[in-house]
Amino acid sequence: YGKLTGRLAACFGIAGPGSTNLLTGLYDAKVDRAPVLALSGQVPSSTKGRGAFQDLDLATAFSDVARFGEVVLAGADHAELMTLACKTALVERDVSHLILPDEVQVATSEQQASGPTGRTGSHDITPPADVVAEAVKTIGAAERPIIVVGQGARPEMEPVIELAELLGAPVLTTFKAKGAISDHHPLGCGVLGRSGTPVASWLMNESDLVIVFGASFSNHTGIAPYKPIVQVDFDPMAIGRHHPVDLGLQGAVGRTARLLTAGLAGTHGCVDQRSIVAERWSIWREEKASRRSDDRGQGMNAASIFAELSDDVPDDAVICVDVGNNTYSFGRYFEVANQDVLMSGYLGSIGFAFPAAMGAWAAVGDSRKVVSVSGDGGFGQYAMEVTTAVKYGMNITHVLLNNDELGKISKEQRAGEFDVWQTSLHNPDFAAYAELCGAHGVRVTRLDQLHDAIEAALAQEGPSVVEVVTDALLV
């Protein structure tokens, strides 16, 4: 919910294990910078610290994950603490945590909750004029600039695309920003990095300037640090975080992109690279088509599955992708239109996809299709949540790629020249399991069954599970 909307998401748990169970999800929110408020119950203050049932030091347990954390005591200004917790989560794009002992939860109060009015400033920051002028000069002198956008640019892509169209500059995305620009846009090049496309990698290699909007430069991003780099981010700590950049502009992505466009209009010497982008896509699509013919008789290949999903998933859907080989295959093979893509970007928490789809459905309801994709290992982490989706009538279509193993771990073991060890799984019939939970379930064993299965699942009212038998090696 928080990743999709940017609005404050909330969760709560009882004292002890109910709260410690929140930690993985909260760390995922923290490292991906999604605003979340967590509320924890606590044993009565009169028994705290004396070994009572479910008595844990939650303040210490949450001290690393929570940017703001407080125990709400009986005499505390609890309304103000809540205001500060919400503000911190939203402004810092982080986790806030409040602990409420039993006696505080039932106490009456006349205090009124405060709203956001007068509590925050504008994020629409303008970079200094002299720095903008220097950036205009640098970009205008480039011949083959590229633009790389991260998740921070997703809400403000329109002015970034306008700048790209002015320059004829290819637009590459980080994996977390997949879908920020359509792969069918004449300048869209797909994902950069190890989860991405050869289109993006080739254009990175051939560029003479990299213009970066809202990206974090993580070790998986694939931004070449030896290239000249102009970086735009509203967070000053993000600029040059991992290595020096040639020019950093602290400013809102949209406002800064508009200023650069205005300064470069009619003055740049950049080559229009649209034809080059089209040529690279043609080469990559031919390669993808050849991979679709791979068949070892042990299940479908990923190239064929994601080609079908690219055709079938609605252009305005929300797609939640899990962790594992399915993630890499999605990054390189699925061609996005205007979908929003959600993932466990930095934590890489297996099992993310289906619970994330539930949160996305809470945000969009039935106004948009919600589709999630996972492997069998990931789905098994939270398979019982299908019953929750059934209970609330959540229109979620889950595509489960079943190869009866933790395929990514097997792949890493082979890469390290180790024996494949303890990665095989004993799975149920997931389609039958979904039906037992009250959802729609279908099992697909042949490619010619896949389109009809996905179309039927998307048409269902309520949750659906499409179990696809896949080859663990053809990823």
Please state the rounded mean pLDDT for residues 57-61.
97
Do the beta carbons of residue 127 and residue 249 sit within 8 Å? yes
State the pLDDT at residue 222. Answer: 83
Question: Strand 396-402 vs strand 370-375: parallel, antiparallel, or unpaired?
Answer: parallel
Q: What is the pTM of this model?
A: 0.94
Give phi and psi for 42, each to the nearest 5.
-150, 155
pLDDT-derived band at 271, boundaries 50, 70, 90: very high
Please state the rounded mean pLDDT for residues 16-21.
97
Tokens of 57: 């030091």
60-87 pLDDT tens trace = 999 999 999 999 999 888 999 999 999 9
Q: What is the mean pLDDT of the chain?
A: 95
Domain with CATH 3.40.50.1220 in the chain: 129-277
State the pLDDT at residue 26. Answer: 98
Q: Identify the CATH homologous superfamily for domain 2-105.
A: Thiamin diphosphate (ThDP)-binding fold, Pyr/PP domains (3.40.50.970)
pLDDT-derived band at 262, boundaries 50, 70, 90: very high
State the pLDDT at residue 121. Answer: 86
pLDDT-derived band at 302, boundaries 50, 70, 90: very high
Which amino acid is it at 330?
F
Cα distances from 303 to residues 99, 108, 142, 350, 453, in angstroms, run 48, 59, 36, 22, 17
Do the beta carbons of residue 71 and residue 99 sit within 8 Å? yes
pLDDT-derived band at 432, boundaries 50, 70, 90: very high
State the pLDDT at residue 122. Answer: 85
91-129 pLDDT tens trace = 999 999 999 999 999 998 888 878 778 888 888 899 999
State the pLDDT at residue 216. Answer: 85
Nearest in space to 174 (alpha carbons), one of 148, 156, 206, 202:
148
State the pLDDT at residue 109. Answer: 84
Q: Among the residues of 323-421, which ranges form H helices?
A: 325-333, 353-364, 376-381, 385-391, 407-415
In whole angstroms, what is the distance from residue 280 CA to residue 137 CA? 29
358-397 pLDDT tens trace = 999 999 999 999 999 999 999 999 999 999 999 999 999 9
Tell me what percent of the residues of the chain surpass a pLDDT of 90: 88
Q: Which residues contact 29 (CB under 8 A, 6 or more apart)?
A: 2, 3, 9, 35, 36, 94, 95
Domain with CATH 3.40.50.970 in the chain: 2-105, 298-469
State the pLDDT at residue 424. Answer: 92
State the pLDDT at residue 275. Answer: 98
Burial, 358: exposed, middle or buried (Cβ in 10 Å; 0-12, 13-18, 19+)?
buried
State the pLDDT at residue 314. Answer: 97
Q: In sequence order, what DSSP letters do the residues of 187-218 get, joined into one string?
A: TEEEE-STTS-HHHHHHHHH-SEEEEES----
∠ at Cα 345 (344, 350), nearest 5°? 35
Please state the rounded mean pLDDT for residues 333-349.
96
State the pLDDT at residue 96. Answer: 98
pLDDT-derived band at 183, boundaries 50, 70, 90: very high
Check whether 194 has a pLDDT greater than 90: no
153-172 pLDDT tens trace = 999 999 999 999 999 999 99
Nearest in space to 308 (alpha carbons), one of 470, 178, 169, 460:
470
If one counts every other C-beta atom within 10 angstroms of the C-beta of residue 164, the result is 26
Q: What is the DSSP letter of 300?
A: B
Question: Strand 188-191 vs strand 171-173: parallel, antiparallel, or unpaired?
Answer: parallel
State the pLDDT at residue 456. Answer: 97
The per-residue b/e assignment along 233-245, b for 16 or more CB within 10 angstroms, e otherwise, is bbbeebbbeeeeb
Please state the rounded mean pLDDT for residues 433-438.
98
CA–centroid distance for 388 within its chain: 22
CATH class of 129-277: alpha beta
Please state the rounded mean pLDDT for residues 49-53.
90
State the pLDDT at residue 123. Answer: 84
Tokens of 411: 């792949």
To the question of domain 298-469 being in CATH 3.20.20.140, the answer is no
306-329 pLDDT tens trace = 999 999 999 999 999 999 999 999
